[in-house]
Structure 1
């Protein structure tokens, strides 16, 4: 997974992701997996006592177990041994304020998706990133799977020819029961303008853009609930029109009873197609117009693309999955931060890990989808 050019680990502070948080533990495992980080500071809960106890459970020194994120950012900024970066895993409606202050205090930032609660906030964060020249990662973690990167490399190498169709699905059963689960996601306004679009819709949208390298220019969306009487969005289907004229579709729901995870893509060009399912992440199906179907599997060695090789840790026969994909983003982010802090040249070319512009594009997709539902027609997706 590469080397750290600074010769030391990145000093990381955590915001959110405390007791009861599934995504918090995922972030911590991802940060530790390749040995690039020391987790040395944290504000893990909005409850001060719970925050201190949770930090103690992670063996964080008492003086760096903070009662609030503001206290952590202000105090750490003044320390001689200050943290290098922060990882934010709080509810959506807090991302903007935390990101803005973290950047102002001079920290690099890893932010859980979505970037913010609306497009205006996302653009605000992007402007601050540009002004500060900070490294910024939005954890669209599925882009870290080796076979996703294999697909990306094959498409860029022209193996599918001209892309003509892109079909994206993310089908869960999290909200299939009539009674909504407790938590901030189902509280009015906290998840943004649409729960399903913000929570998992942006994941599917980003996966399509990451694999194809193309932006959606226009869309026509049906957004709402598949459960009669429910006011929270749990369903979206959309027709997509890409920049090269390719057509596509997106079906995302967290109210499909019996489904587990259900994230997948199918991309077809004039020479063939690729298909990938996150529930079988180490297999990529390559269908060629004039040849037999091929199953490409994750493995070390020259048989796979450069992107797949750099994202693979374990020899053939041993599966890798979600945590490893998440860790790929953390490791690539650490390498960029280390290079920048070590005075090494860092160009402005797009990073392999999702950056702030990917976060802005996700919110532009959400805004266009909500507007399309309101107007009942096609909408342009704002350019980023």
Structure 2
């Protein structure tokens, strides 16, 4: 069971870049970060419009003079204060992630960044080096990885419950962009703009989520892949609103990834199915408290969050915030991640490298892997779905 008594150190003074009025993701960050007392929001560059930024920040309870229209001014000004910020979360469009993250690290701040962290692997590797040089934590907001049943699946695979892994099917295929919604939706519009979104749309926006979940659960390394992508809403070209990826893993397993925004009628359809020689498991983010477990020759069963029969590892059980039977959801997943971000940031500040090294969280390497997926998918798709090496 989750322990709310673990937070003994003073809350980290925390700020946000982006995530202003009307931002669903901004609210998710603030909700997750505030849950367990690891972070206290004291400043923000929520909006490039100074008046909107100030008004929004004041409504969140911040002092007006700590609401900034420019993130660089915020970093510089806060660095001069004795009570200046120690960490920052970046919830801005993709094209800004690299510059803001780099400026934050150079300012001595811990970082939590939305994905994809950069447009290129080279940029992401540079951020990793800067974070290491400055002894800063760099977390990547793969928000679904805080669900306990993901870690139950990981433990089952590691213990050999499925046998040797043969097939992994990944998908995140919603239908909310089946028509040209971006005409009237600014939040969707930037995702279809290559200058802001980067070289992909759905692969970067949702495909990386499913890919990282599968990587976390199965622990396999991709050897090569081929990708085909389409722009069914023609105005979105060259960015795709649908993509299919085939993968070969180094252990001989194979996999597929379907990322789509045009799966008409679908909510999320984010599902990860891992198939082994003895059994299969499947997780669906619309039913995150359950894990399907199917052993060949036996009746299918559904494992439930919070039950004593789950593997008693650090994440699948200790992250439960309420007893089994009560549905935990998206905000609990984010709170679990922010709790871990807080633990490792405080440990890094205290020079406690043992805690840093032994605490799981989605780190910059997870972000690099996601960017590498996008680079290779674009390379393959632009060369008539040619198979390309992943590394």
TM normalised by structure 2 equals 0.93
The answer for the alignment partner of 1:55 in structure 2 is 57
Pairing 1:150-161 to 2, within 5 Å after superposition: 150-161=152-163
Supply the distance in 2 between the matched residues of 1:345 and 1:180 (Cα, whole angstroms): 45
The answer for the alignment partner of 1:333 in structure 2 is 341
Aligned to 2:197, the other structure's residue is in SS state: coil
The answer for the alignment partner of 1:354 in structure 2 is 362
Pairing 1:146-295 to 2, within 5 Å after superposition: 146-181=148-183, 182-183=185-186, 184-228=190-234, 230-231=236-237, 232-295=239-302
Aligned to 1:357, the other structure's residue is in SS state: helix
- Runs (4 or more) in structure 1 with deviation over 6 Å come to none
| 8 Å CA contact retained: 2:347, 2:355 | no
Q: 1:381 aligns with which of 355, 377, 390?
A: 390
The answer for the alignment partner of 2:303 in structure 1 is 296
What's the offset of the Cα at 1:118? Answer: 2.4
Q: For structure 1, which segment, 1-10 or 276-285, has the greater mean C-alpha deviation from structure 2 after superposition?
A: 1-10
The answer for the alignment partner of 2:91 in structure 1 is 89
Pairing 1:83-162 to 2, within 5 Å after superposition: 83-162=85-164
Supply the distance in 2 between the matched residues of 1:282 and 1:191 (Cα, whole angstroms): 32
Q: 2:47 aligns with which of 45, 50, 67?
A: 45
| 8 Å CA contact retained: 2:119, 2:199 | yes
Q: For structure 1, which segment, 49-58 or 297-306, has the greater mean C-alpha deviation from structure 2 after superposition?
A: 297-306
Number of equivalenced pairs: 382
1:138-174, Cα deviation, whole Å (9 max, x unpaired): 0111111111111011111111111111100101112
What's the offset of the Cα at 1:348? Answer: 6.4
Q: For structure 1, which segment, 174-183 or 113-122, has the greater mean C-alpha deviation from structure 2 after superposition?
A: 174-183
What's the offset of the Cα at 1:213? Answer: 1.0
The answer for the alignment partner of 1:13 in structure 2 is 15
Supply the distance in 2 between the matched residues of 1:83 and 1:99 (Cα, whole angstroms): 15
Aligned to 1:265, the other structure's residue is in SS state: strand
Aligned to 1:308, the other structure's residue is in SS state: coil
| 8 Å CA contact retained: 1:5, 1:339 | no
Change (3 A) 1:322 1:5: closer
What's the offset of the Cα at 1:76? Answer: 1.3
Supply the distance in 1 between the matched residues of 2:236 and 2:117 (Cα, whole angstroms): 26
Supply the distance in 1 between the matched residues of 2:43 and 2:13 (Cα, whole angstroms): 8
| 8 Å CA contact retained: 2:7, 2:37 | no
What's the offset of the Cα at 1:237? Answer: 0.3
Aligned to 1:193, the other structure's residue is in SS state: coil
Aligned to 2:252, the other structure's residue is in SS state: coil
TM normalised by structure 1 equals 0.95
Supply the distance in 2 between the matched residues of 1:46 and 1:175 (Cα, whole angstroms): 27
Change (3 A) 1:81 1:350: same
Supply the distance in 2 between the matched residues of 1:178 and 1:87 (Cα, whole angstroms): 30
| 8 Å CA contact retained: 2:32, 2:334 | yes
Q: For structure 1, which segment, 141-150 or 124-133, has the greater mean C-alpha deviation from structure 2 after superposition?
A: 124-133
Supply the distance in 2 between the matched residues of 1:178 and 1:268 (Cα, whole angstroms): 36
RMSD: 1.7
| 8 Å CA contact retained: 1:172, 1:259 | yes
What's the offset of the Cα at 1:89? Answer: 0.4
What's the offset of the Cα at 1:291? Answer: 2.9
* Structure 2: stretches of 5+ with no match in the other structure: none
Aligned to 2:263, the other structure's residue is in SS state: coil
| 8 Å CA contact retained: 2:347, 2:356 | no
The answer for the alignment partner of 1:78 in structure 2 is 80
Supply the distance in 2 between the matched residues of 1:240 and 1:350 (Cα, whole angstroms): 30
What's the offset of the Cα at 1:283? Answer: 0.7
